[in-house]
Amino acid sequence: MHHKRTAAQKTISFPAWAKHADASSMLLQILYCLSIELEIDPKVYQMKKDHALWIFFPYSYFLCDSFWDEYGVCAAFISQQYPISFYGMIGEMESAELQAICSEDQKQILLQKRNISGKDFGQMGELCVKIQVEDLEELEDLYQILQHLTYRSNYLPIRRSIHNQDKFSDFTEVDPNTFYRYLIFECQEQKISFLQSLSVEQQKYLWMLFLNDQVSVMEFEYLVEKLQEKEEISLFQWELALRLALSEKGITISYDNEDFRVTDANGLRLRFDYRTGSAAEKVFLKILFPVVPERN
């Protein structure tokens, strides 16, 4: 938007290890590590006309030299596949930009600070990462993936799609049979269940698969297992997701003494059985009847 001039620059060597990394994996890693370091979940915006994503870390603040020491090499490597720039604000409300440019022979990296005044600066706030992605389907895939990135979880659940099937090769995943693919970040000590990384919207989608087509995905198998082991897990979020799915489907639940009736939008009764039902059915009934009422 503004014409920026080079305020400062330096050249560093391009390490051999970076040449064998996966750009897609490194991109997620750098954004995740930024989220942890800043303790901020990024807000992601898509500009299809410009083939760009803007990942904003509001209320952030960092030292530029420390930033380059930690992320300069990764940024240069990523830029070879996905051009990436780091924008923010410096003193007196001036817009600034950081760029890492890899030489054609992959031997050196040019680290640049750019702003309007052309004066050097040492710190920057309101970090916003711009990523260029030429393929619009890939752009949309990446946009959807980053919607669920949070520093609070060391897992990232993503949809299995043609574009990301072979990507993120540096990541291991929980189980190839789950509906979502759960990428595991290793740079966080606290480990939580991968099921807790699912958003309400993602859980709702799993419930819709069950309500529409009676499909019980592997996530429900893991959830039943954890409930049986009495592992601490937020079942209320699954209940909220179920309520949203039931509302969208027009399904109602009515209670009569100790019995209940589940009725679809056409008034037809739906029947469930805990003993012989699928894992999704078991969780459904567990949510309806979390405890057995005591008899007088």
Is it the case that residue 126 has pLDDT exceeding 50? yes
Question: Whole-angstrom Cα distance, residue 205 to residue 195?
Answer: 14
Q: Measured at the alpha carbon of residue 249, what is the angle toward residues 245 and 255, in degrees to the nearest 5?
A: 80
| Both structure tokens of 75 | 């940024």
| Both structure tokens of 76 | 């240069």
Q: What is the CA radius of gyration of the chain?
A: 24
- What DSSP character marks residue 39? T
Report yes or no: 280 and 216 within 8 Å, Cβ to Cβ: yes
Sheet of 259-263, strands arranged across: 252-256, 259-263, 269-270
- Containing H/E element for 8? strand 5-13
pLDDT band at 238 (very low <50, low <70, confident <90, very high): very high
- Separation in Å, CA 162 to CA 22, 167, 250: 17, 9, 33
Helices 200-213/235-249 angle, 10° precision = 50
pLDDT at 276: 86
Which residue shows structure tokens 């990394």? Answer: 21
Report yes or no: 99 and 76 within 8 Å, Cβ to Cβ: no
Query: How are beta strands 155-159 and 123-132 bridged, if at all?
Result: unpaired
pLDDT at 188: 52
Question: Whole-angstrom Cα distance, residue 229 to residue 75?
Answer: 43
Is it the case that residue 89 has pLDDT exceeding 50? yes
pLDDT digits (tens, 9 = 90+) for 186-237: 755 555 689 999 999 999 999 999 999 999 999 999 999 998 887 777 889 9
pLDDT at 234: 80
> Which stretches within the chain are classed as H helix?
23-38, 64-79, 136-146, 200-213, 218-228, 235-249, 279-288
Q: Which of 93-102, 157-166, 240-249 has the lowest mean pLDDT?
A: 157-166
Q: Residue range 54-78: average pLDDT?
A: 94
- pTM equals 0.86
- What DSSP character marks residue 154? S
pLDDT band at 17 (very low <50, low <70, confident <90, very high): confident
DSSP annotation string for 72-131: HHHHHHHHTTS-EEEEEEEGGGEEEEEEEEE-TTSSEEEEEEEESS----SEEEEEEEEE
